[in-house]
């Protein structure tokens, strides 16, 4: 069976750096911090009182009041990002065959805010079960894909992926696979997350996974730095339109990049900690390269998972050295979570976009806040510290790893006929 080629023809983003794709990329390129004091609830009693929130987002500008009753914040962000991507792709909704347009869109946690509200309201009541009829549809992590499908009448493959922080990369991989196999012409894919709330912050604090650097919250996300003390939680949504190349050509679509390979693997090691030698991380990159039929030397840029956790950053750099050998020292490497924070299930979609724009514009976004490299990390690696670097990029790889040992990587390439 001859596999179809898959290209990216539309993008949408709501991020801590801005509520559009141009704002997001401009923020990355210029090393903007998306971290600030939490405004979505009163964090005074929590160990962490800052996060990378989506700022200036008013759901009433996008949804009727009646519709908002049905939507958790994570679904609101997802629908708006998908709308941006659909508009950007210039799909003619009257001309395309909607039976062959799908939505594969994920969330690592789903409607955590809705869960918190309903349970809190019940606990504060007299024990009488008074739950919203929309509670379950608001909180389930597949529902964003359903909403997007319903909005546009897309009747192709439709489901949500869940693999913690690898979620939206897995969604992109699944979408690409369906198109490569000829089961769809176009798929809206990506992920969203909205877990900046009491139980999200409290839960991650109890794991001691998040930074508690409340005094220096603007620069608290410090991948690879010796002073890092955990990730900074973020929220947001990213949407990509993946399309069969022939279908895109026939409608005269603009093409951002070609998705040429993907990989998946498991650490099979620990619930939350990575394998100390990065075995799963190395395997997923090898699998992606094999799928793309590429040699390691063909890769120019790696957008790392790079969460600023003490164990994760070291493990990932070991994996890169294992896979790329001496070529690792010629790579450009950066951790854009230093600016966006960790968007959990939405991270992969927005970071895949970072690789696309690195290819398109020839800029490597920086790893900000990297002032004092961890001595356990090889100093010869180019981690793009502090400022963006100019570089021609033909091939870029994006890594995402999730609790449970879930690993997913995608490879984007400059599109050529």
- Residues 177-194 have pLDDT tens digits of 999 999 999 999 999 999
Confidence tier at 417 by pLDDT (50, 70, 90):
confident
> Which whole number is the average pLDDT over 74-86?
98
- Residues 346-385 have pLDDT tens digits of 999 999 999 999 999 999 999 999 999 999 999 999 999 9
340: nearest Cα among 101, 13, 108, 47: 13
Distance between CA atoms of residues 224 and 407, nearest Å: 20
Residue 103 pLDDT: 98
> Which whole number is the average pLDDT over 279-289?
97
Residue 263 pLDDT: 98
Q: Is 62 a catalytic residue?
A: no
What SS3 string covers 160-215?
CCCECECHHHHHHHHHHHHHHCCCCCEEEEEEEECCCCHHHHHHHHHCCCECCCHH
Average pLDDT, the chain: 97
Contacts of 389 (CB under 8 A, 6+ apart): 332, 363, 364, 366, 382
Is 93's pLDDT higher than 90? yes
pTM: 0.97
Q: Which residues pair with 409 in a beta bridge?
A: 263, 399
- Residues 217-236 have pLDDT tens digits of 999 999 999 999 999 999 99
- The active-site residue out of 147, 247, 275, 305 is 305
Q: Is 165 a catalytic residue?
A: yes
> Which whole number is the average pLDDT over 379-400?
98
Confidence tier at 1 by pLDDT (50, 70, 90):
confident
- The active-site residue out of 147, 247, 342, 406 is 342
**41 — alpha (psi -120 to 50), left (phi > 0) or beta?**
beta
> Which whole number is the average pLDDT over 399-415?
97
Q: Which two tokens stand for residue 316?
A: 């990932």
> Which whole number is the average pLDDT over 210-220?
98
Q: Residue 11 in contact with residue 81, Cβ under 8 Å?
A: no
* 158 backbone dihedrals φ, ψ, rounded to 5°: -145, 115
Percent of the chain with pLDDT over 70: 100
Residue 237 pLDDT: 98
Residue 99 pLDDT: 98
- The active-site residue out of 165, 247, 275, 406 is 165
* 401 backbone dihedrals φ, ψ, rounded to 5°: -130, 140
Q: Residue 171 in contact with residue 154, Cβ under 8 Å?
A: no
């Amino acid at each position: 069976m001859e596999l179809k080629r898959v290209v990216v023809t539309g993008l949408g983003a709501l991020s801590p750096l801005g509520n559009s794709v141009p704002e997001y990329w401009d923020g990355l390129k210029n090393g903007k911090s998306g971290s600030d004091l939490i405004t979505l609830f009163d964090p005074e009693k929590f160990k962490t009182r800052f996060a990378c929130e989506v700022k200036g987002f008013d759901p009433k500008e996008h949804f009727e009041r009646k519709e908002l009753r049905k939507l958790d914040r994570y679904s609101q962000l997802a629908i708006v990002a998908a709308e941006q991507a659909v508009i950007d792709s210039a799909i003619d909704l009257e001309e395309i065959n909607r039976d062959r347009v799908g939505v594969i869109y994920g969330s690592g946690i789903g409607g955590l805010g809705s869960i918190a509200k309903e349970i809190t309201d019940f606990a504060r009541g007299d024990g009488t079960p008074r739950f919203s009829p929309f509670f379950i549809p608001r909180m389930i992590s597949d529902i964003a894909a359903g909403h997007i499908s319903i909005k546009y009448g897309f009747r192709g493959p439709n489901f949500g992926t869940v693999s913690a922080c690898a979620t939206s990369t897995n969604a992109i991989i699944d979408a690409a696979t369906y198109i490569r196999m000829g089961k769809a012409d176009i798929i809206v894919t990506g992920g969203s997350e909205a877990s900046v709330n009491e139980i999200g912050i409290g839960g991650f604090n109890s794991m001691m996974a998040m930074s508690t650097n409340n005094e220096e919250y603007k620069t608290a996300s410090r991948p690879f730095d010796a002073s890092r003390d955990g990730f900074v939680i973020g929220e947001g949504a990213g949407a990509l339109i993946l399309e069969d190349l022939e279908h895109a050509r026939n409608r005269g679509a603009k093409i951002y990049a070609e998705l040429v390979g993907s990989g998946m693997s498991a650490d099979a090691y620990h619930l939350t900690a990575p394998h100390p030698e990065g075995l799963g991380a190395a395997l997923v990159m090898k699998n992606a390269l094999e799928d793309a039929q590429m040699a390691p030397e063909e890769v120019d840029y790696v957008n790392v998972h790079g969460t600023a956790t003490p164990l994760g950053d070291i493990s990932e750099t070991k994996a890169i050295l294992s896979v790329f050998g001496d070529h690792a020292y010629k790579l450009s490497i950066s951790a854009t979570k230093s600016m966006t924070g960790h968007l959990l299930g939405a991270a992969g979609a927005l970071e895949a976009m970072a690789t696309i724009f690195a290819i398109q514009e020839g800029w490597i976004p920086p790893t900000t806040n990297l002032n004092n490299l961890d001595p356990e990390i090889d100093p010869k690696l180019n981690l793009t510290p502090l400022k963006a670097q100019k570089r021609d990029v033909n091939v870029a790889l994006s890594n995402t790893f999730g609790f449970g040992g879930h690993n997913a990587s995608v490879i984007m390439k400059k599109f050529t006929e």
